[in-house]
């Protein structure tokens, strides 16, 4: 397929692509930073430490719900950054912060436009309850056609099992084959590299300035800075004879 309009289904990463989870994480860390007297820790330092421990924990405990995983790594990130260890309650609150992470400004409007052409599916490294909070809040109860979480699969992306689970589900529910699926995501690490390995086409939503999930080797079939840009490109294709 040589164009966007040839696909039938978009499989979305959520946190990093639809939700500005880097801003959400930084905001959720702010109380601990405040308690430590506003130490001189950069956005890059904090997010790289977070990403390191998040990926490590996902590999060690692939069946751990994301809220618990967040709580479990909070103290480890704090220790690496030289901060006072958080209390168990502070870790719990951090783990429960996902529903407060904001959507990117273009997300909901772009999803509504894309839904006119495609089935829209969630494939996210999240637990069901946290996604429910995100969807009912920042995503304004957007009606996705199917939601698949890491909790459903029992592993976290970039594990190929998550993508294979999604492909099987969309074939059974919608009759959509792999060559009609577009993985739509920001993270090279979590989404684009495994998609290419499995022969799934992908669109890279860059979200300029994003730190986590980047890789030196950039893999994608289409590339847009924002989801709105992708919707604009689709509209341009649809009006072209």
Instruction: Determine if residue 212 is left, alpha or beta; phi over 0 gives left, psi from -120 to 50 gives alpha, anything else beta.
Output: beta
Contact 192, 219 (CB under 8 A): yes
- Write down the residue that tokens 């069901």 correspond to: 128
pLDDT in tens, 115-131: 999 999 999 999 999 99
Return the active site residues: 13
119, β-bridge pairs: 9
- Give the C-alpha separation, 154 to 158, whole Å: 12
pLDDT in tens, 185-230: 999 999 999 999 999 999 999 999 999 999 999 999 999 999 999 9
- Give the C-alpha separation, 152 to 130, whole Å: 13
- Write down the residue that tokens 């995501």 correspond to: 185
pLDDT at 218: 97
> 10 Å Cβ neighbour count for 136?
12
């Amino acid at each position: 397929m040589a164009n966007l309009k040839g696909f039938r289904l978009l499989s979305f990463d959520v946190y990093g692509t639809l939700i500005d989870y880097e801003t959400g994480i930084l905001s959720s860390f702010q109380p601990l930073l405040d308690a430590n007297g506003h130490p001189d820790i950069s956005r890059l330092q904090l997010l790289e430490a977070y990403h390191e421990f998040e990926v490590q924990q996902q590999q060690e405990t692939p069946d751990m719900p994301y809220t618990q995983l967040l709580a479990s790594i909070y103290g480890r990130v704090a220790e690496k950054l030289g901060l006072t260890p958080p209390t168990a309650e502070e870790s719990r609150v951090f783990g429960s912060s996902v529903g407060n992470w904001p959507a990117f400004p273009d997300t909901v409007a772009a999803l509504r436009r894309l839904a006119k052409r495609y089935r829209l599916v969630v494939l996210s490294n999240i637990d069901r309850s946290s996604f429910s909070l995100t969807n009912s809040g920042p995503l304004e109860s957007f009606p996705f056609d199917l939601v698949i979480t890491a909790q459903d699969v029992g592993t976290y992306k970039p594990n190929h099992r998550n993508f294979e689970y999604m492909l099987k589900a969309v074939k059974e529910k919608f009759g959509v084959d792999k060559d009609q699926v577009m993985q739509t995501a920001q993270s090279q690490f979590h989404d684009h590299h495994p998609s290419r390995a499995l022969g799934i086409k992908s669109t890279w939503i860059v979200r300029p300035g994003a730190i986590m999930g980047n890789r030196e080797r950039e893999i994608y079939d289409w590339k847009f800075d924002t989801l709105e840009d992708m919707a604009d490109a689709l509209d341009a294709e649809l009006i072209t004879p």
